[in-house]
Chain A
């Protein structure tokens, strides 16, 4: 995970007090590359995807 982001925000806006905002640092290139990929994929149709994810209650 990119370190540059994780220390930039000491205060979370809406999580409970003391809940640290950003991520722990996982220092592998594979995870960084994956993060880039996930980030790009989430740009695409997240709004529509979330709206259409409707399940019936179960047990």
Chain B
């Protein structure tokens, strides 16, 4: 079992098309959700973040000591009710960087110039899809509230504006600290490069600003420029080294994956998380079969895969004959069969195999499962409808570029993907009921349960919460009490449990 989560930065715009300040619009999304009647939320606890820690073993320029370092002290035992104490201090919230910890354990906030939803920690790919889509529903609800207040905005679950800007959808996987980082990077790279063939959301245009006409498999491929690195906004790497586990750093490291596309369809999202979890299990088991799948030129390969709609291009391997992305994925699937232990793992393996077989036979047949195929199918029929003789509508036509963007509009009444799904054209993993439930309820099998329940019931007694902290503000105490939740899979903490039980028996 490992904790995983997905962060989505949404594209945000005024519905009128007039220019808006993106930071202000993003803040308005967060503020609007906090003001939805009956929605509970809590401030973010900035106490324990360490964004400067690098997975390669060094740390950039620390300014402050971590306030939870005391967790190393002998006798620190959260199960026995140990808490850290922190002085009360005046709270000030930067109006441009609003935050909300939600009742489902997620964080909704302003990151750069986008509203971002960071899902609660989940343990499996099915739940990852459910709580990811809960984020779409939450942002849609926020927009509804904003509209009622007179600001009409549209949010897009995509990664590009077609003019050079890219924003991320990041996956986070906890990985055993015992795996050396260089081994992790070497063995995961081929998977991250080749999984695009079923995780890609499709994109009209090639090149960072769409300089060249055409269609490609991935939204994100044109923005990946390095194999390994710490940055996420420039020289973006295939394997990101940000090592901020938000958990006991002696036990866990976090693999922060920034190469992935935002997915509106369920199956790519399910496979994106599920296959990567299984490859990580193979890496943790030190499976040397993965060493036969090391790419010679991984950065170039990202684009080679994304640009090849025939799926035939062979990628140079460090050892052995060149292999197609499909072939590499087949080999990874065979390795990963040995690591499927749960029923969801078995569903991932079955779906992985089915999708690869379909893509192999005829990629056009994968439109119910694979997002770039579904998008290309839709755009292909628009191109055919407006063909002049034998010439299809060119990719530069505004209708196709507009459809590419509107594909990811999260409004169920407007988004083209959502409409296709409603028409029964897309396989679903998460049911509407499961998604609606996950808007207000945290996953039961991670510490997000404690965080979400605390937001649901504690009211003003909850001072703030973070990934690994729940901060209590009790009237009868001189100081704040910080319950440290350093084990992501632990769903109990004596102090938090007691506080919740006292008001919601």
Contacts and interface: CB of A to CB of B under 8 A. Distances in A.
A18 B312 contact: yes
A15 B378 CA distance: 16
A55 B167 contact: yes
Given A58-B233, A59-B232, A24 B377 contact: yes
A30 B112 contact: no
Contact of B113 (A13, A28, A55): A55
Interface in B10-43: 11-13, 17-19, 22
Contacts of A16: 214, 307-310
Interface in B414-473: 416, 419-420, 423-425
A54 B113 contact: no
A6 B365 CA distance: 13
B126 interface: no
Contact of B387 (A8, A18, A48, A54): A8
A23 to B, nearest CB: 4
Given A5-B381, A14-B213, A16-B307, A59 B168 contact: yes
A21 B88 CA distance: 64
B310 A58 contact: no
A45 B15 CA distance: 13
Nearest to A12: B392
A58 B394 contact: no
Given A23-B378, A39-B382, A56 B405 contact: no
Nearest to B395: A14
Contacts of A30: 423-425
Contacts of A50: 162, 398, 401-402, 405
Contacts of A18: 310, 312
A26 B392 CA distance: 20
Interface in A29-50: 30-31, 33-35, 38-39, 42-43, 45-50
B163 interface: yes
Nearest to A7: B384
Given A23-B364, A49-B405, A54-B165, A15 B215 contact: yes
B17 A59 contact: no
A20 B379 CA distance: 12
Given A18-B312, A49-B405, A58-B168, A23 B423 contact: no
A59 to B, nearest CB: 4
Nearest to B396: A14
B405 A24 contact: no
A6 B381 CA distance: 7
A26 B425 contact: yes
A34 B179 CA distance: 49
B170 A59 contact: yes
Contacts of A28: 423-425
B387 A9 contact: yes
A23 B385 CA distance: 11
Nearest to A14: B213
B381 A15 contact: no
A55 B22 contact: yes
Given A31-B420, A34-B419, A42-B402, A26 B367 contact: yes
B390 interface: yes
B225 to A, nearest CB: 13
Interface string B386-420: 01001110110011011101100000000010011
Contact of B13 (A13, A15, A52): A52
B455 to A, nearest CB: 25
B373 interface: yes
A46 to B, nearest CB: 4
Nearest to B14: A52
Contacts of A57: 112, 164-167, 233
Contacts of A15: 214-215, 309, 395
A56 B24 CA distance: 12
Contacts of B383: 21-22
A34 to B, nearest CB: 5
A24 B364 contact: yes
B49 interface: no
B306 to A, nearest CB: 11
A48 B238 CA distance: 35
B489 interface: no
A2 B166 CA distance: 34
A23 B310 CA distance: 14
13 contacts: A5-B381, A9-B384, A19-B309, A23-B376, A30-B425, A34-B419, A43-B399, A53-B13, A55-B167, A56-B22, A57-B165, A57-B233, A58-B168
Given A6-B381, A31-B424, A50-B162, 17 more contacts: A5-B381, A9-B392, A19-B310, A21-B383, A24-B365, A24-B367, A31-B420, A49-B398, A50-B401, A50-B402, A52-B17, A53-B13, A55-B11, A55-B12, A56-B112, A59-B168, A59-B232
Interface of B: 9, 11-13, 17-19, 22, 111-114, 160-168, 170, 213-215, 232-233, 258, 307-310, 312, 364-365, 367-368, 373, 376-378, 380-385, 387, 390-392, 394-395, 398-399, 401-403, 405-406, 416, 419-420, 423-425
4 A-B pairs with least C-beta separation = A58-B167, A5-B384, A24-B364, A56-B113
